[in-house]
């Protein structure tokens, strides 16, 4: 599985949403599933999927689908264009 | 007289700090409150759709000072749930944001404040509000249960002053809001701070957002409260690494925190020179019934503590007899001036007086240790807590049944299970529970069973449910 696929899967599983919802317009609190509780679940999924442990500053800065990919670069997780 | 009518004493103190950097004194808060309240006829019922912002707070203060009755609801309440509450309670006024579900309720706009509108509704039913009635709150968050708790000014005042006393709240405190103001725990923090002339840092952001932490530090917040999942978040965020010198204490209520997490936070707070309070309450007792003094926190992990000042705990066995010896389980019974007047299911109940006479059977099973500390060990009633909100399983079954789904609900705190015999309905049921009842999908699961297990008398055998999952 590519990193992008893993990333998408974490979103789809945490929020029980379809792939079509994923994209640049997906931000924290824009869908009911992505509230603070959903966010905690998402971070846990991502940490498991990429075997990382995220820093607090990154967890609270993770405000959108797009921003998340930028933040994961710090953990040496690259997303092909 | 209610403390709401004595807030002038604190006129020059800062009452509210808003997210856009405004510092609002008590004097300004009262003038905003008065501006709205002057449009409300005496002894009316006012629905307030709230958010933790100055518009909601000042409207609430205005209604409480004017002697009318407020019912606080979530601003994001589902349209059909609001309609159903309106037809049951026939409020004379609704105060809500322009774009909320309230716009569908028939009425005439009589005042506006920022993007909020006060409307006089068209309900023509004439009913009487009991003289002591001051406030209505839901018993279970936003799930749409029509079961409301009736609170008096005496309830609110006595509870706010007991809380202020045991937490030692002074006018120099600054509490940040971490829970909605229509939620009894969130509201009790607001009440106890207003009573003492302290400041409230109005906040809408969750702990998972950068702006929460920026404000916590920038406004020198001295305390905040949280339900168990807020402490799970703090742990996940490795709160111990945060530098928050102004923070003096944290409170935890709204459900039982895992003992390991309690230990973690008790130790963490001790190492940071902060106090940690475990507390216990219900909206039927206005908010708070007991707390663990911070000095005892380390020795009494898992305890809900002792009754608050002015209150008293006791245990009763199944025959209703008082249990006097320690370490014996019975139903926890609370006595105190904060025990509310009773429930309301429609406007017909709003002229009722005090039905509880200061005694509340909590529905929780507890034991008392030799030092007089209480420990909750189970529940008599069929409800669980989802992210701090009480969810009555029979009510959820009833609401689903109204939608045409015959389901059985069970489970644990933060993990409700909805059992259906129709696999094809699973998604529709989940969507209804998530979207209409506003329960996050992480808090429940919907599963299929071949048939609903019942005994000969037709009673559902809850213990058999898990074995039948397909």
Q: Among B203, B208, B241, B387, which would you mutate to test the A interface (most chain A Cβ atoms within 10 Å of its Cβ)?
A: B208
**Where do the domains of chain B lie?**
3-377, 383-468
pLDDT band at B469; cut points 50, 70, 90: confident
Residues of A near B (CB-CB distance < 8 A)?
14-16, 28, 32-33, 35-41, 43-44, 56, 59-61, 63
3-state secondary structure of A62: coil
Contact between residue B106 and residue B122 where contact means Cβ atoms under 8 Å apart: yes
Contact between residue B235 and residue B266 where contact means Cβ atoms under 8 Å apart: no
**CA of A1 to nearest chain B CA: how many angstroms apart?**
25
The predicted-structure confidence for B310-323, as pLDDT tens digits, reads as follows: 999 999 998 999 99
Radius of gyration, alpha carbons of chain A: 11
For residue A44, the chain B residues in CB contact (below 8 A) are 236
Asked whether the predicted pLDDT for residue B331 surpasses 60, the reply is: yes
ipTM score here? 0.89
pLDDT at A80: 76
**Where do the domains of chain A lie?**
3-16+23-75
pLDDT at B391: 87
pLDDT band at B385; cut points 50, 70, 90: confident
Q: Among B215, B389, B430, B442, which would you mutate to test the A interface (most chain A Cβ atoms within 10 Å of its Cβ)?
A: B442
**CA of A69 to nearest chain B CA: how many angstroms apart?**
17
Is this structure's pTM higher than 0.95? no
Residues sharing a CB contact under 8 Å with residue A3, sequence separation 6 or more, in sequence order: A50, A77, A78, A79, A80
The predicted-structure confidence for B182-240, as pLDDT tens digits, reads as follows: 999 999 999 999 999 999 999 999 999 999 999 999 999 999 999 998 999 999 999 99
| Contact status of B299 with chain A (Cβ, < 8 Å) | no
For residue A28, the chain B residues in CB contact (below 8 A) are 208-209
Out of A33, A44, A60, name the one closest to residue B213 (CB). Answer: A60
The predicted-structure confidence for B84-143, as pLDDT tens digits, reads as follows: 999 999 999 999 999 888 888 888 999 888 899 999 999 988 889 999 999 999 986 556
d(CA A22, CA B267): 41
**How much is the average pLDDT of B25-51?**
96
A50-54, A76-80, B163-167, B365-369, range with the lowest pLDDT: A76-80
Query: Topology of domain A3-16+23-75, per CATH?
Result: 1.10.1200
Q: Among B437, B439, B441, which would you mutate to test the A interface (most chain A Cβ atoms within 10 Å of its Cβ)?
A: B441
**Mean pLDDT across chain B:** 93
Backbone angles phi, psi at B444, to 5 degrees: -150, 165
Asked if B233 lies within 8 A of A36 by C-beta distance, the reply is: yes
Looking at chain B, the whole-number percentage of residues with pLDDT higher than 70 is: 99
The predicted-structure confidence for A14-26, as pLDDT tens digits, reads as follows: 998 999 999 999 9
| Contact status of B240 with chain A (Cβ, < 8 Å) | no
| Contact status of B443 with chain A (Cβ, < 8 Å) | yes
Q: Which residue has the tokens 């409300």?
A: B40
Asked whether the predicted pLDDT for residue B470 surpasses 60, the reply is: no
pLDDT at B111: 87
Asked if A32 lies within 8 A of B233 by C-beta distance, the reply is: no
CATH number at B383-468: 3.30.300.30
pLDDT band at B392; cut points 50, 70, 90: confident
d(CA B377, CA B365): 6
CB atoms within 10 A of CB B70: 27
CB atoms within 10 A of CB B198: 22
Asked if A37 lies within 8 A of B442 by C-beta distance, the reply is: yes
Asked if A59 lies within 8 A of B213 by C-beta distance, the reply is: no
Question: Of B374, B254, B251, which is closest to residue B302 (Cα–Cα)?
Answer: B374
Asked if A60 lies within 8 A of B229 by C-beta distance, the reply is: no
Question: For residue B206, what are its two tokens?
Answer: 């969750």
For residue B213, the chain A residues in CB contact (below 8 A) are 60
pLDDT band at A81; cut points 50, 70, 90: low
pLDDT at A32: 87
d(CA B29, CA B15): 7
The residues facing B176 across adjacent strands are: B201
Radius of gyration, alpha carbons of chain B: 22
A38-42, B236-240, B274-278, B395-399, range with the lowest pLDDT: B395-399
pLDDT at B144: 62
Looking at chain B, the whole-number percentage of residues with pLDDT higher than 90 is: 76
Q: Among A56, A57, A58, A61, which would you mutate to test the B interface (most chain B Cβ atoms within 10 Å of its Cβ)?
A: A56
The predicted-structure confidence for A14-57, as pLDDT tens digits, reads as follows: 998 999 999 999 999 999 899 998 999 999 999 999 999 999 99
> Which chain B residue's Cα is nearest to A33?
B440
Asked if B229 lies within 8 A of A37 by C-beta distance, the reply is: yes
d(CA B2, CA B134): 10
Strands (E), chain A: none
Asked if A36 lies within 8 A of B206 by C-beta distance, the reply is: yes
What is the 8-class DSSP label of residue A16? T
Question: For residue A74, what are its two tokens?
Answer: 């710090």
Asked if B441 lies within 8 A of A43 by C-beta distance, the reply is: no
Superfamily of chain region B3-377: ANL, N-terminal domain (3.40.50.12780)
For residue B237, the chain A residues in CB contact (below 8 A) are 56, 59-60
């Amino acid at each position: 599985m590519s990193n992008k696929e893993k990333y998408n899967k974490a979103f789809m599983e945490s929020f029980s949403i379809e792939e079509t919802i994923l994209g640049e317009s997906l931000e924290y609190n824009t869908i009911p599933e992505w509230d603070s509780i959903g966010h905690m679940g998402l971070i846990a999924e991502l940490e498991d999927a990429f075997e990382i442990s995220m820093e607090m500053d990154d967890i609270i800065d993770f405000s959108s689908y797009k921003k998340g990919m930028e933040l994961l670069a710090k953990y040496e997780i690259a997303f092909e264009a | 007289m209610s403390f709401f009518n004595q807030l002038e004493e604190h006129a020059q103190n800062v009452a509210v700090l808003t997210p856009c950097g405004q510092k609002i004194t008590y004097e300004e808060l009262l003038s905003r409150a008065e501006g709205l309240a002057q449009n409300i006829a005496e002894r009316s019922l006012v629905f307030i759709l709230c958010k933790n912002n100055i518009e909601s707070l000042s409207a609430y203060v205005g209604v409480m000072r004017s002697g009318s009755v407020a019912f606080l609801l979530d601003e994001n309440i589902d349209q059909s749930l609001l309609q159903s509450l309106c037809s049951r309670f026939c409020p004379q006024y609704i105060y809500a944001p322009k774009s909320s579900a309230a716009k569908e309720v028939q009425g005439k706009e009589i005042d506006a404040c920022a993007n909020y509108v006060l409307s006089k509704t068209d309900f023509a039913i004439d009913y009487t509000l009991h003289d002591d009635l001051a406030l209505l709150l839901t018993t279970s968050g936003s799930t749409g249960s029509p079961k409301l708790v009736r609170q008096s000014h005496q309830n609110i005042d006595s509870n706010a002053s007991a809380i202020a006393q045991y937490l030692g709240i002074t006018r120099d405190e600054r509490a940040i809001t971490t829970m909605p103001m229509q939620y009894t725990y969130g509201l009790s923090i607001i009440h106890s701070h207003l009573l003492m002339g302290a400041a409230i840092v109005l906040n809408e952001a969750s702990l998972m957002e950068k702006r929460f932490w920026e404000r916590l530090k920038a406004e020198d917040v001295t305390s905040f409260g949280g339900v168990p999942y807020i402490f799970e978040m703090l742990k996940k965020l490795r709160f111990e690494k945060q530098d928050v010198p102004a923070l003096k204490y944290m409170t935890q209520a709204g459900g039982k925190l895992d003992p390991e997490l309690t230990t973690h936070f008790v130790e963490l707070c001790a190492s940071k020179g902060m106090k940690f309070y475990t507390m216990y309450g219900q909206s039927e007792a206005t908010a708070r019934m007991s707390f663990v003094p911070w000095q005892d926190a380390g020795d009494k992990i898992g305890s809900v503590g002792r009754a608050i000042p002015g209150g008293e705990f006791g245990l009763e066995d199944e025959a209703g007899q008082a249990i006097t010896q320690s370490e014996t389980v019975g139903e926890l019974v609370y006595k105190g001036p904060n025990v509310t007047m009773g429930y309301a299911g429609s406007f017909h109940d709003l002229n009722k007086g005090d039905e509880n006479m200061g005694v509340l059977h909590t529905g929780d099973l507890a034991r008392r240790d030799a030092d007089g500390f209480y420990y909750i060990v189970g529940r008599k009633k069929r409800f669980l807590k989802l992210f701090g909100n009480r969810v009555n399983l029979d009510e959820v079954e009833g609401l689903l049944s109204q939608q045409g789904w015959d389901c059985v609900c069970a489970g644990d705190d933060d993990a409700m299970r909805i059992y259906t015999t129709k696999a094809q309905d699973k998604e529709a049921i989940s969507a209804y529970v998530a979207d209409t009842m506003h329960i996050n999908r992480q808090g429940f699961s919907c599963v299929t069973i071949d048939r609903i297990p019942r005994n000969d008398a037709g009673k559902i055998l809850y213990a058999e449910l898990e074995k039948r999952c397909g």
